[in-house]
Amino acid sequence: MALDVEHNLFNAEQIENIAVIRFKKNLIRQLTDLNIKEALFDYLHQAEDDRNIKVMLILGSPEKIRRKELIEFYNELSESKSKINHIARIYNAINQLILLIRNMNKIVIHADSGEVLSLFLNVSLACDYRIIGDRTVFQYPTLELGLIPKGGGIFFLTKKVGAGKTMELLLAGKDISAREALELGLVDKVVSSESLDEAATQAARNFALKPMHLISGMKKLLNFPSDDLAKFLERENELLLESIRSEKFRRLLDQQL
């Protein structure tokens, strides 16, 4: 099938009228490679344009990026101006991914488990429906890095829990458990981690039974106005890159290594 793909960045397959895509661990590092990035976006556009597809199911990588790996990644890329430009390209690619998911005319479901960093929670928040395993913890290394979370996290969190709670969550430096995420409305369903893929596929099947014109109309209104998110993501880039260029950021990274 045209929607069955094996790629360095992701695996994908079509199950009935559902396009299923599973990311691999190296997502962030590979987003600066134009060919790889375009392969991902081309697939998402292809699934969006396919009239037989009603639901996009995005599955998180079973191999997680750890806090320490993320800190080492920033340390490596913040050493020179050229590498900071590398980070800027990653941020722009993330912006494109978030907006593409948010504006897709299909139902987009995200499913994940394990230790999930803030970027991947933010990708999840851009989706329409979220399922996680019961052993999931969401991690915001905001304090360790001294950086606001990338991927529209503040935009989405503020709409879900309000400005005060968003500030509290980001500055607490604590993991958010699956139960807490459900109570806060960050996810829609918690299942046993062992049955996550099965539960996510069943949820996708349930959504796929709904009329496509109804899904499309509801999404347009639920996500209105989308221009605000695009402007927010651009401003997010500016603030992050300003922080990464600072000497204070370098000192903070040295303390974490």
* Residue whose pair of structure tokens reads 């990464």 in the numeric block: 244
Confidence at residue 245, expressed as pLDDT on a 0 to 100 scale: 87
Please, what sign has the CA dihedral across residues 89, 231, 248, 119?
negative
- Least confident window among 35-39, 111-115, 133-137: 35-39
Model confidence at 257, pLDDT cuts 50, 70, 90, reads: low
Model confidence at 225, pLDDT cuts 50, 70, 90, reads: low
CA distances from 36 to 10, 21, 30, 242 (A): 10, 15, 7, 27
Give the pLDDT confidence of 198-214 residue by residue, as tens digits: 999 999 999 999 887 78
High-pLDDT (> 90) share of the chain, %: 54
Q: Which of 3-7, 23-27, 63-67, 133-137 has the highest mean pLDDT?
A: 133-137
Give the residue from 152, 91, 162, 90 showing the smallest Cα distance to 126: 152
Q: Output the six-digit token pair for 225.
A: 């106005």
Confidence at residue 73, expressed as pLDDT on a 0 to 100 scale: 81
- Put simply, whether the predicted model's pTM sits higher than 0.85 gets the answer yes
Give the pLDDT confidence of 68-89 residue by residue, as tens digits: 788 888 887 777 777 788 888 8
Confidence at residue 82, expressed as pLDDT on a 0 to 100 scale: 73
The burial class, CB within 10 Å (0-12 / 13-18 / 19+), for 130 is buried
Model confidence at 35, pLDDT cuts 50, 70, 90, reads: confident
Q: Report the pLDDT averaged over residues 38-60.
A: 93
Name the superfamily (CATH) of residues 5-256.
2-enoyl-CoA Hydratase; Chain A, domain 1 (3.90.226.10)
Give the residue from 233, 67, 88, 249 showing the smallest Cα distance to 152: 233
| Mean pLDDT score across all residues of the chain | 88
How many other CB atoms are found less than 10 A from the CB of residue 182?
17
Task: Judge whether 133 and 187 are in contact, CB under 8 Å.
Answer: no
Q: What are the boundaries of each domain within the chain?
A: 5-256
Task: Judge whether 112 and 60 are in contact, CB under 8 Å.
Answer: yes
Distance (Å, whole) CA 39 – CA 33:
10
Confidence at residue 217, expressed as pLDDT on a 0 to 100 scale: 81
Give the pLDDT confidence of 149-170 residue by residue, as tens digits: 999 999 999 999 999 999 999 9
Give the residue from 61, 55, 72, 161 showing the smallest Cα distance to 107: 55
The burial class, CB within 10 Å (0-12 / 13-18 / 19+), for 115 is middle
Whether 31 has a pLDDT exceeding 80, the answer reads no
Q: Report the pLDDT averaged over residues 95-112.
A: 93
**E strand or H helix at 139:** strand 137-139
Expressed in percent and rounded to 5, the helix, strand and coil fractions of the chain are 60, 15, 25
